[in-house]
Each structure stands twice: as structure tokens, then as C-alpha cells.
Structure 1
Amino acid sequence: MAIPDKARAEHWLRHVSYYRLSAYWLPFEHPKGNPGQRFLPGTSFDTVTALYDFDRRLRLVVLDAIERIEVAVRGSWAYELAQRFGPHGYLDARLYYHPGKYQENLVRLTKDVANSPETYIDHYRRTYDTPAMPPVWMVAEMMSFGQLSRWYALLGDRALRNAIARPLGLPEAVLVPLLKHLSTIRNSCAHHARLWNRGFLLRMRVPSKPAALLNTLEPPAAHAPAQLYNALVLIVYLLRQVDPTSVWRDELTTLLNQHPTSDLCAMGFPSGWDARPLWR
């Protein structure tokens, strides 16, 4: 590996760490056991750090989009449950198809409410004795994205799940696994984990319509971890539903065009991706 500036390289290794940075030069290594040089010809430390910086900016852009999607799901979930069952109807065990999982979710949520430092939760605790749990619109605001996706997925009424999914423009059969998938991506972003060439074991379901969405997606490999491309396509689609004025797609494509090696295959991008409907 070429190291044009050794002092700069030492600074990176000190403040980022050898182990963390090594994940970004791994694609430039020959396969293990290969005789000769460790790195492919032309590999530079500057390219590695540029790739690291690209990944950092990618996480911030993706996290920004998932935040808007998460807020929209929180609102739809709380609205439908409050309208149909009242402020505390979400606590009715009969709404959920698996009593054991419902109890697990409730125990976790009860503990989070008890330990919450949020002002509005503290106000509720000091003002009301019964019911002990706050109304649905309050707990929706304090739930993690993963917790929200579990409460939503556990609803036994498919029509209710579809009503919650409707403002996002997808059927519940697609939205349920997608939210779990996006929650994993969101956690990777929030905890500063590598994103650009990561494979995700928790897969999403590819929708069959609308046509523009289907024709932008890439058929997933049958038995391989999910790559980032399809998730980015679904994020573009969802943002169109919840924020039609969003310019997030353009922000993302600007960043993609700044990829240090211009090779997006590690994220699952197909050849000619930018000519597909949702990218145009």
C-alpha cells in the first residue's frame, strides 16, 4: 500500500484505529494465502481514507432519510390505534396474535416508561395514576424504531396493519419486514458501523408494484445477505410518499457520484442503475 504522507497515516491510525480502518482496505487485498504482495497494485492509503469518509457521509444521509420514515410510521401507528381503540387501546392483548410476544413487548415498554427521562412522560407519571402506561401517542414518541416495528408487526388484524401502512404507499406484507430491515440499517448508522459494502442477514421483501418501484429494484440473491441498493430504492420511494418535496434522492446521487473508486457493486448497485425509473 502506498502511504504518501506517513504523519497523516499515523494520525488516522491513532484517531480511527487500525482495526476499524482495516475494514476499508480489505477490498484492496489479495485473497489470503496468495503469494506475493498483500495489496492490489495501485492501492493507496489516501483511497482507503477517502472510502472511510464516503461511508461516514453515507451513514449520515441514510440516517436523515430513515428518521423521516420512522416519524411517519410512528404517526400512522398511533393515529390508527387511537382512532379505533382509544388512547390506551394499544394495551389490549386481544389486538396481538402472539400473547407471549405481546407480554415481552409490554414488559420492555413498561420498563422504558419507568426509566424515561422525557418531560412529557414524567408529567404523565406525576399527573395520572391509572392507567399506569401513557397514551399511545406518547409511547409512540419514546419507542425505538425496532420496538415500534415489533409492536406493529404483532398486530393480529391484517386490515389494521394495512391501514397503518397505507400512508406509506406499501402493503403491510412488504412494510412489516421492511421496517425490521430499515431498523437494522438505522442502528448501523447510529452506532457508526460500516455501511457501504455491508450484507444484512435480516432481509426485506421486494414488492411487486407499483411498476416504477419494481423496475428500479434489483432481484435479490436467493441465499445471500441483502445488500444496500434495494433498501436505498425503498427509502427513495417512501420519502416520495411522506415528503413529496424531498430532495434526498438528489443528495444521495450526488454523494454516490463522489465514491472514491466509482465502484458501487459492493452496495449491490446494478449496471445502469441511474437510468431506472425512481432514479431519473
Structure 2
Amino acid sequence: METIGYYRLSAYWFPYKTSSGDGKTVFREGTTFDEIMRTYEFDRRLRLLMFEAVARIEVFLRSRLAYFAAKEDGAFGYPDSARTKLSREYSAAKKSEQYIKHFANAYGDEHDLPPYWMMVECATMGTLELLFSKVSPSTRTAVASDLGVKVPVFKNWLSVLRVTRNACCHPFREGNGRTQRIFANQLARQAGWELNFKAVSPERLCEAYISSMVDMSDLIDLLNDTVSPKEN
């Protein structure tokens, strides 16, 4: 409890509580602290496993995007519409990244941005997602083809990758709930559906998430109330 904190751990025992009939909640009969801790430990380990998988895909993306973009447009051939955001991240990286400092000192008078293979290493996932959407269609196709998918599918994957990565790095409960909604939306769109979470109350959404740890029925009912065919 001291190393985790009461408030964080409390999120993991909500599924084990039930109404006592007088407006209060009590733990379900047979619930133990060890059971709650196993739920917390499962979540922690799952996050680590997911982060390892996400990290491999992220390294692949950085490598292949730099390779194909530089091959087609040159080492410094960035899309104009992405330069503003790239410049901000380049400026931030000059304060902490030694390789960026070296480039700026040695070649800063000649180039306002480092070459692709350096820039992708200091760019955030959000910026990489933007850069992928702005490079030439042939570059996007080449990167996506390396994974055996079409460009629209890979763009959806990037969005899921970004929010999943953030959830793994920042295990905040409210942030994870928002991440789940974004992930569900991307998954639904890829399958030809739309999810409208505004159709249900925040209270119902929260209760469905909590109860889904032991029973998925409330969450399934909620999704059925929010789903509709995607408009073309």
C-alpha cells in the first residue's frame, strides 16, 4: 500500500464491491486483499508486455519512414506542412540530445533541420504520425507495404500505437480510460463502424469499465447502444 498508494490501488477493488442495500458499498463475500493485488499485478505486467511489443513497432516505424522518405525526397526533403512541428521538436532536442547538439553546432548554419534518420529519433510519436500523413503517397505505401497492409490500415495502426504507448508509459487511471475509448473507436472504424460515447452518460461509462474487470455484460450493452455503421 505504501509503494502503490491508496488512491491508485482503490481503482482495482471497485469491481469487487457491491451495494449493501442502504446506499453504501461493501466488498463481495470472499474478497481478499491478495486477490486485489493480483489484479493490480496483472495490469502492471500486461502494460510491460504491451510496451515491449509497441517499442518494436515504433523502432521499425522510425527506421522505415526515414529510409523511404530520404530515398525519395532526399535527406532533408521534409514536407512543408510538417516543418513547423519538426522545428519545435528539433529545438527541444538540442537542449538534451548530444547527437542533435553536435549536428546543430557542426551543420546548423547550412540546415534548419537534421537529416531524416536523426530527426525521427528525437520526434514524438504524435509528430511521426503527422509526418507519415504528410510524406508522398509512394513513401506511405512503401512503409505500409513493409508490414503487408494498405495505407489507411497503417494510419489507423499508428493512432492505436500512439495512444497504447502513452497508456503504457503513463499509467494514469483517467488517462487509461480515455485511451480505451480512442482504441475502441479506431478498432470500430477499421471494421466499418462508429462509436458515439456521447450517447451514454459518463457515469454509465465509468461503471461499465469498472464492472468489465469481472463481468463484460454491462460494457457489451453499452457498446451496443453507441455503435452505428460508419458513413462513407
- Would you say the 8 A contact 2:129–2:159 is kept in 1? yes
Paired position in structure 2 for 1:254? none
Cα RMSD for the two superposed structures? 3.3
Paired position in structure 2 for 1:229? none
Q: Is 1:176 aligned with 2:155?
A: yes
- Would you say the 8 A contact 1:21–1:52 is kept in 2? yes
**1:206, distance to aligned residue in structure 2 (A):** 6.1
**1:73, distance to aligned residue in structure 2 (A):** 0.6
- In structure 2, the CA distance between the partners of 1:73 and 1:86, relative to structure 1 (3 Å rule), is same
Paired position in structure 1 for 2:89? 109
Q: Which amino acid aligns with 2:182?
A: L
- Would you say the 8 A contact 2:12–2:36 is kept in 1? yes
Paired position in structure 2 for 1:40? 28
State the identity %.
Answer: 32
- Would you say the 8 A contact 1:60–1:189 is kept in 2? yes
Paired position in structure 2 for 1:150? 130
- In structure 2, the CA distance between the partners of 1:264 and 1:190, relative to structure 1 (3 Å rule), is farther
- Would you say the 8 A contact 1:174–1:207 is kept in 2? no
Correspondence 1:64-103 to 2 at 5 A: 64-90=52-78, 92-93=79-80, 99=81, 102=82
- Give the gaps of 5 or more residues in structure 1: 1-11, 94-98, 209-213, 226-261, 269-280
SS at match of 2:7: helix
| Alignment size in residue pairs | 202
- In the superposition, the TM-score normalised over structure 1's length comes to 0.62
* CA displacement, residues 202-259 of structure 1 (integer Å, 9 cap, x when unaligned): 5325698xxxxx9xxxx9773359xxxxxxxxxxxxxxxxxxxxxxxxxxxxxxxxxx
Q: Is 1:141 aligned with 2:121?
A: yes
Q: Pick the structure with more strand per residue.
A: 2
Q: Determine the C-alpha separation between the residues in 1 that align with 2:29 and 2:112.
A: 65
SS at match of 1:15: coil
Q: Determine the C-alpha separation between the residues in 1 that align with 2:143 and 2:180.
A: 29
* CA displacement, residues 144-167 of structure 1 (integer Å, 9 cap, x when unaligned): 222211211233x43331212111
- In structure 2, the CA distance between the partners of 1:127 and 1:34, relative to structure 1 (3 Å rule), is farther
Q: 1:165 aligns with which of 144, 147, 158?
A: 144
Correspondence 1:226-237 to 2 at 5 A: none
Q: Determine the C-alpha separation between the residues in 1 that align with 2:161 and 2:77.
A: 27
- In structure 2, the CA distance between the partners of 1:132 and 1:55, relative to structure 1 (3 Å rule), is same
Paired position in structure 2 for 1:96? none
Q: Pick the structure with more helix per residue.
A: 2
Q: Determine the C-alpha separation between the residues in 2 that align with 1:36 and 1:206.
A: 37
- Give the gaps of 5 or more residues in structure 2: 199-212, 220-232
Q: Determine the C-alpha separation between the residues in 1 that align with 2:83 and 2:66.
A: 19
Paired position in structure 2 for 1:199? 180
- In structure 2, the CA distance between the partners of 1:174 and 1:165, relative to structure 1 (3 Å rule), is same
